[in-house]
Amino acid sequence: MLDAKIPQGPLEEKWNNYKAHAKLVNPANRKKLDIIVVGTGLAGSSVAASLGEMGYNVKSFCFQDSARRAHSVAAQGGVNACKNYKNDGDSVYRMFYDTIKGGDFRAREANVYRLAECSASLIDQAVAQGVPFGREYGGYLNNRSFGGVQVSRTFYARGQTGQQLLLGAYQALMRQVHQGHVKLYTRHEMLDLVVMDGKARGVIIRNMDTGAIERHSAHAVVLATGGFGKIYFLSTLAMGCNGSAIWRAHKKGALMANPSWTQIHPTSLPQSGEYQSKLTLMSESLRNDGRIWVPKTQDDQRPPNQIPEEERDYYLERRYPAFGNLSPRDIASRAAKERIDAGYGIGPLKNAVYLDFSRAIREQGEDKIREKYGNLFRMYEKITNVNAYTEPMRISPAAHFSMGGLWVDYELMTTIPGLYALGEANFADHGANRLGANSLLQASIDGYFIAPYTMANYLADEIKSGPIDIKHPAFEAAERAVKEQLQLLMAIQGKESTDYFHRKLGHILYDKCGLSRSAAGLQAAISDIRALRTEFYNNLHVPGGLGLNAELEKAGRVADYLELGELMCYDALTRNESCGAHFREEYQTQDGEALRNDKDFSFISAWAWTGNDQPPKLHMEPLHFEFVTPTVRSYK
């Protein structure tokens, strides 16, 4: 039985009760303890800065050439917090309920409530760091709405919220680097976790500039390495994003939770050809003022401005009148796919829908829309050569976010003692669907306000351990395995590139484990992925050598994806229901909505690695709802 370590007591008192009784490490002893943090996005930078400020010895690793290049910069639209500045009925409980409902009642109550409870403090923290949130004329912080809610709780810095929040965390991190509490290693990639006597004790790292393999030890390891949405190849994520750190930890004993719950974002720029390797995200904030529609006639060739109002189908407003264009991401994405598949798609490839601002511009004026979304409109015009002030945008669903990740308890510790997972690297807060503007929130909350408390509860007993010796046989074995894998990939010398295999895997997953799934499709996907993995190890070509070699790094990541992709399909196949982003075609209502099965599937799937080419083992963490009653998730 998995122990989530959820504190006793009323929901609103659990976190305070935990903090009141958790063990502490006094300031003199903190300098005796070493902590490794992998990743320098919002979660990684914030936790490294926080732990450094507290006096621990921290090593921080990232594969980018600067911590500022972490993918958190790409988040655009905002960060949620229940400040109730608009006086529209928001509260901690309202935000908690919106989040747990948005995740289709597949998340822990205690974790979700803590997320909402800590959200207000994050805004104060960010303002103190100088984050330039949007403000009203009188100087008060402004808010806007995001999908899945009926209040305004999203704080934003135009369309650059992630970048501005990361700059605040980066400054805090670099302050600790300057003071000597944090040692920062850029261009270093984690290739394996070292486990000694059942505890996480270090990592094996590849210096990406020299190819050298390094050993680093610590009393605890934090993985803040983001999600694995790039497994679909075409996604909104940067090309370097990957799931290797958490996958290597999974193979060392950390359970992987809900891996099939991956989010398809509804407002990406559509694919324009097979040459593409990335899609561009347009912020969900645009759905505040933009209206989504398709022509009522199939294969309509007219330019959008020549299609009269009565011949437009505003399908989200039609199907979900209570939430309309602000329906949650999973619902909006599936609705777009349904219209596209039915022949109503627009654009050269008929793979998009319109996002139209004409009414908002008429009612508010172009200057107001430019003030709110100007940088997004400029980005759109730069990419498409279309002026969205005069013509609707074209948008399409695209792979985006991983709700699944390493299983963690209330303390954010994995099933390996001493190994923590923060932000998108864990599964903890979003259930089967993440609401917009909760990603930046979770990453920041985990790093600033949760892990610095919960890690002390573990580290208090590690003071007597003394320094961790990197000459221990566990380090030697891990380093040897890493080198053997790199040499294996180099030795194949087949004919196909890494991207060839990655693209084929992405096609399999998007078609059979994407916006919709079926038992037959998932079984076929497992078979296809196994065949592709066999081809990979027989026909991969990696040019260059073991030194500076970006293709070798990609090959290692795709090798992990070929294993992770199979687990995603196993997870989706065993969950005979539809919930959130997991839409099984066999389980839907008469009008095509998700049909959840609380009686049989109200649990968290936690998978154990059993070995190469062996089926994974499923563990279940039952979900208990003491403070809310799961209901049919309706946005109509």
CATH number at residue 578: 1.20.58.100
Interatomic CA distance for residues 57 and 159, integer angstroms:
35
Compute CA distances 446 → 310, 332, 421, 442, 539, whole Å: 48, 28, 9, 6, 42
Which pLDDT score, from 0 to 100, does residue 591 have? 84
Torsion of CA 407, 408, 413, 414, to 10 degrees: -10
Q: Which of 399, 432, 454 finishes a domain?
A: 399
What mean pLDDT is predicted for residues 23-36?
A: 97
Based on the domain organization, do 603 and 477 belong to the same domain?
Answer: yes
Contacts of 361 (CB under 8 A, 6+ apart): 369, 389
Interatomic CA distance for residues 112 and 626, integer angstroms:
13
**What is the Cβ-side half-sphere exposure of residue 482, based on CA atoms within 13 angstroms?**
29
Q: Which of 345, 373, 399 finishes a domain?
A: 399
Question: Within 10 A of 156 (CB to CB), how many other CB atoms are there?
Answer: 23
Amino acid at residue number 440: L
Contacts of 499 (CB under 8 A, 6+ apart): 233, 277, 554
Q: Is 211 within the bounds of a domain?
A: no
Based on the domain organization, do 372 and 480 belong to the same domain?
Answer: no
Based on the domain organization, do 477 and 604 belong to the same domain?
Answer: yes
Q: 384, 434, 376: which is closest to 405 by C-alpha?
A: 434
Interatomic CA distance for residues 176 and 196, integer angstroms:
29
Assigned token pair, 630: 């799961």
What mean pLDDT is predicted for residues 465-484?
A: 97
Assigned token pair, 223: 């993985």
Q: Is 3 within the bounds of a domain?
A: no
Quick check: 284 pLDDT over 90? no
Number of domains in the chain: 2
Interatomic CA distance for residues 444 and 449, integer angstroms:
8
Tally helices (H) and strands (E) across the chain: 18, 19
Q: Is 317 within the bounds of a domain?
A: yes
Interatomic CA distance for residues 616 and 633, integer angstroms:
31
Compute CA distances 306 → 204, 299, 389, whole Å: 60, 14, 16
Q: 216, 199, 198: which is closest to 207 by C-alpha?
A: 216
What mean pLDDT is predicted for residues 322-340?
A: 92
Q: 63, 19, 1, 56: which is closest to 38 by C-alpha?
A: 63
Which pLDDT score, from 0 to 100, does residue 512 have? 97
Interatomic CA distance for residues 310 and 178, integer angstroms:
62
Torsion of CA 387, 392, 398, 401, to 10 degrees: 80
Which pLDDT score, from 0 to 100, does residue 536 have? 98
Which pLDDT score, from 0 to 100, does residue 359 have? 97
pLDDT band for 590, please (50, 70, 90 cuts).
confident
Q: Is 349 within the bounds of a domain?
A: yes
Known catalytic residue at 329: yes
Q: Is 370 within the bounds of a domain?
A: yes
CA 497 to chain centre: 27
Interatomic CA distance for residues 429 and 408, integer angstroms:
10
Based on the domain organization, do 481 and 604 belong to the same domain?
Answer: yes
Q: Is 43 within the bounds of a domain?
A: no
Strand partners, 200: 195
- The secondary structure of 25-85 as a DSSP string is --HHHHTT-EEEEE--SHHHHHHHHHHHHHT-EEEEE-SSSSGGGSGGGG--S-EE----T
pLDDT band for 275, please (50, 70, 90 cuts).
confident
Amino acid at residue number 624: H
Strand partners, 607: 256, 618
Structural contact between residues 72 and 450, judged by C-beta atoms closer than 8 angstroms: no
Quick check: 277 pLDDT over 90? no
Lowest-confidence pick of 137-141, 341-345, 415-419, 541-545: 137-141
Which pLDDT score, from 0 to 100, does residue 619 have? 97
Q: Which of 399, 423, 455 finishes a domain?
A: 399
Q: Is 294 within the bounds of a domain?
A: yes
Compute CA distances 550 → 66, 189, 206, 223, 489, whole Å: 17, 11, 12, 22, 13
Interatomic CA distance for residues 220 and 419, integer angstroms:
6
Structure confidence by residue, pLDDT tens digits, 377-402: 999 999 999 999 999 999 999 999 99
Q: Is 306 within the bounds of a domain?
A: yes
Which pLDDT score, from 0 to 100, does residue 112 have? 98
Which pLDDT score, from 0 to 100, does residue 511 have? 95
What mean pLDDT is predicted for residues 489-514?
A: 97
Interatomic CA distance for residues 47 and 444, integer angstroms:
8
Assigned token pair, 425: 């690297």
Based on the domain organization, do 375 and 493 belong to the same domain?
Answer: no
- The secondary structure of 336-375 as a DSSP string is HHHHIIIII-BTTTT-BEEEE-HHHHHHH-HHHHHHHHHH
Quick check: 274 pLDDT over 90? no
What mean pLDDT is predicted for residues 101-118?
A: 97
Which pLDDT score, from 0 to 100, does residue 98 have? 94
Which pLDDT score, from 0 to 100, does residue 147 have? 79
Lowest-confidence pick of 4-8, 312-316, 374-378, 589-593: 589-593
Mean pLDDT of the chain: 95
Quick check: 593 pLDDT over 90? no
pLDDT band for 635, please (50, 70, 90 cuts).
confident
Q: Which is catalytic among the residues 153, 291, 329, 533? A: 329
Structure confidence by residue, pLDDT tens digits, 209-242: 999 999 999 999 999 999 999 999 999 999 999 9
What mean pLDDT is predicted for residues 540-566?
A: 97
Contacts of 583 (CB under 8 A, 6+ apart): 330, 334, 515, 516, 517, 594
Based on the domain organization, do 477 and 605 belong to the same domain?
Answer: yes
Give percent of the chain above pLDDT 90.
92
What mean pLDDT is predicted for residues 335-355?
A: 95
Q: What is the CATH number of the domain that holds 319?
A: 3.90.700.10
What mean pLDDT is predicted for residues 500-529?
A: 97
Residue 269: domain span: 264-399
Assigned token pair, 105: 């009642």
Interatomic CA distance for residues 606 and 588, integer angstroms:
25
Helices (H), 412-549: 439-445, 451-459, 473-492, 498-512, 519-539
Contacts of 343 (CB under 8 A, 6+ apart): 298, 299, 350
